[in-house]
Amino acid sequence: MQTYAASHWFATCPKGIEGLLAAELSTLGATATRETVAGVHFEGPLALAYRACLWSRLANRILWPLDSLPADDADGLYQALRSVDWQAIFDPRCSFAIDFSGQNRHIRNTQFGAQRSKDAVVDYFVSAGSPRPVVEKRQPDVRLNVRLAKSEVHISVDLAGGSLHQRGYRLRAGGAPLKENLAAAILLRAEWPGIASRGGALIDPMCGAATLLLEGAMMVADVAPALGRRQFGFESLRLHNPSQWQALLSDARGRSERGRARELPEIRGYDADPKVVRKAQENIARAGLEKVVRVSCKPLAELKKPTHRSLPFGLLVCNPPYGERLGQKDSLAYLYRQLGEAMVREFPDWQAAIFTSDLDLGKATGLRSHKRYALWNGPIASHLLLFELSNNSLRDLEQDRPAADTAIGDQALSEGAQMFANRIRKNRKRLSSWLRREGIECYRLYDADMPEYAVAVDIYAGRVHVAEYQAPRGVDPEAAARRLDEVRAALPEALGVSGDSIVYKQRRRLRGTDQYEKQGSRNEMLSVQEGSARLLVNLHDYLDTGLFLDHRPLRLRLGREAAGKRFLNLFCYTGSATVHVALGGARATTSVDMSNTYLNWLRKNLAHNGLDESHNTLVKANCLEWLKQQQPDYDLVLLDPPSFSNSRSMAGSFDVQRDHADLVRAAMAVLRPGGQLYFSNNRRGFKLEPELEQSFNCEDITGETLDTDFQRNRRIHCCWLIRHR
């Protein structure tokens, strides 16, 4: 049996905190620390690896490197993994999983790389006459880390068995959550342990899930971050020394008990959303720190320093909304300014730390930061700004605000491009106050306002999406291409974004399953906010993004009317209306569509908003056929069919003008007395069947369902509110 040295280890971490991690490991007893990108090599006995798994507040994973071997192609990868003496690492009766990363010219798919690696490990044991080990992806006994770099594969064992940032106190996170180890890094950079040792307090005015507060409390209470972890990967390895581990674990428990019993600093958090506060309180309870960390519902405008005891100094720490993209930034500048005013007004002798990906918003506080650290929040390049609030006066923000339109950039544009850019600026100025007032970050900025520039320009949380309308026959293709080039030249200048960040598509009519087909394969989901809902859009891979902007008022209206009702969403698309209704307090929702693509998208939207499927049912079916089998169980129905479909899932074709009467009657048949049906479609020139108006109370509410950004194109959809007589 081969022996693998258990004295060299590797800790992974978020980019930007390698130096902090190296210092932390040294305090735990590590020697020969060596920093690299997103990690630190270190040496020491097995007990050190145990301490790193238990006590590191900054590491993602603690790896035990086994070998680095040549692996130019799939066969080479297989042979490299097969050559490892796995019998010396773990018993075949243990389940295992492969975490595979990297690629080279022959292996470009991580799933394929993981499969070949898994096959090699299984075949090793089988060929040795051992039982065939079980592959368990969710909670394996042993987790193997396989990283491919060019023609070499690096093979390691994950000692913790999963990411150490997961402390166990946060079961569900909101959009773009701040990971626990990054929160710890922020606090260490802000010198919270030193402030706490001098009796300082910790306050987070926009605490969200309370991650920063809980990490700060665990530091001052001497709680090992992994103390609540139920399982460690090393417990299933042959090198494991149970008695040594139990001694370290017992010591950590004793330190935690003594630390919690001490008089600890004041640690408080606030958030404007009561639902968020409840989740934060649940996290605090799971961490067992209710006596240390207190959170309450309070908007930023009401932020004041607590007065129940003297708090002369401390640390105000905050991870406010970034507003890193165009749609939010203008309104968020006011929030950051309000934060800056509250900081100097309420905490004049304190330290402050603001974590943001947008330096302009950091400047919008009106305060000078004396230190700035570059950090990474997942893939987002971010910044930690540190402030000395004593003698830090607010400055006039206009001094730091760049001119909106510069003549230098304009000179490079052609006459046509300049004309288009001017229209974009005009529209943006016209919409700006409405967007700020309504808190809207996804909207239509331009919709073929000038017929020669036949495009729709939409903003999704600052990302720009351009759909070129298909030119009619008889239009010179060269002229159309030239105008699109002018659009491409004008938009970056007019919006202040890079040209390669703008997504361009050609809008054309798709039939059958083509409407569900991918146009790309980036699989990049962008989370956007609409009212209280967080919705996922895909700007690259499909013709439509997953969110029809013209139906925004109708979705918000449904959310307001939903409390206590049973809701049916027919032709549900990606289910954005379902999310609004569920968040609005609906008793139950049912969403029906023929597309697996859209239903899976809805599933993600539900999960993204913390909604499960126990009260939100998804049905794959032809809506008309499905309706024939239902009872009048619904109080609120949304019927938004396509203009035309000849999907293979249907016996024939569907035309909304031809077939809508039967469809509306079928939908009304499942509506309870006193219920409401909203019927909408996007067919130009659509006429409601007169017999429907004789049978039901039909009210045309199209004008009420068109927002300011669609006032120029009032034919984009039509909508009726239909009730039983």
Lowest-confidence pick of 507-521, 538-552, 599-613, 685-699: 507-521
Helix (H) or strand (E) holding 155, with range, is strand 152-158
In this prediction, residue 402 carries a pLDDT of: 37
Above 80 in pLDDT, residue 508?
Answer: no
In this prediction, residue 341 carries a pLDDT of: 85
Q: What are phi and psi of 390, to 5 degrees?
A: -70, 130
pLDDT confidence bin for 176, thresholds 50/70/90: low
Nearest to 661 by CA among 706, 722, 573: 722
In this prediction, residue 90 carries a pLDDT of: 97
Check: CB of residue 196 under 8 Å from CB of residue 265.
Answer: yes
Non-local CB neighbours of 472 within 8 Å, separated by 6+ positions: none
In this prediction, residue 406 carries a pLDDT of: 35
- As a whole number of angstroms, the distance between CA 202 and CA 264 comes to 11
pLDDT confidence bin for 604, thresholds 50/70/90: confident
Mean of all residue pLDDT scores within the chain: 90
The answer to whether the Cα torsion of 494, 500, 501, 506 is positive or negative is: positive
What are the CA-CA distances from residue 665 to residues 119, 625, 720 (Å)?
A: 56, 13, 14
In this prediction, residue 522 carries a pLDDT of: 77
In this prediction, residue 512 carries a pLDDT of: 46
Nearest to 146 by CA among 235, 232, 68: 68
Q: Which residues, in sequence order, are bridge partners of residue 117?
A: none
In this prediction, residue 189 carries a pLDDT of: 97
Tell me the pairing of strands 201-204 and 267-271: parallel
pLDDT in tens, 308-367: 889 999 999 999 877 543 334 555 776 788 799 889 999 999 999 999 988 888 998 999
Structural domains of the chain ordered from first start: 8-158 (3.30.2130.30), 180-221+264-399 (3.40.50.150), 407-508 (3.30.750.80), 531-724 (3.40.50.150)
Q: What percent of the chain has pLDDT over 90?
A: 75
pLDDT confidence bin for 171, thresholds 50/70/90: confident
In this prediction, residue 517 carries a pLDDT of: 53
Mean pLDDT of 94-109: 94
pLDDT confidence bin for 175, thresholds 50/70/90: low
In this prediction, residue 479 carries a pLDDT of: 84
Lookup: tokens for 461 = 């949380």
In this prediction, residue 401 carries a pLDDT of: 36
In this prediction, residue 354 carries a pLDDT of: 97
pLDDT confidence bin for 610, thresholds 50/70/90: low
Pick 411 or 71 by higher pLDDT.
71
pLDDT in tens, 207-260: 999 999 999 999 999 999 999 999 999 999 999 999 999 999 999 999 999 999
- As a whole number of angstroms, the distance between CA 358 and CA 692 comes to 53
pTM listed for this prediction: 0.58
pLDDT in tens, 419-461: 999 999 999 999 999 999 999 999 999 999 998 899 999 999 9
In this prediction, residue 558 carries a pLDDT of: 98
The answer to whether the Cα torsion of 80, 84, 89, 91 is positive or negative is: positive
Q: Which residues, in sequence order, are bridge partners of residue 469?
A: 507
Mean pLDDT of 148-174: 89
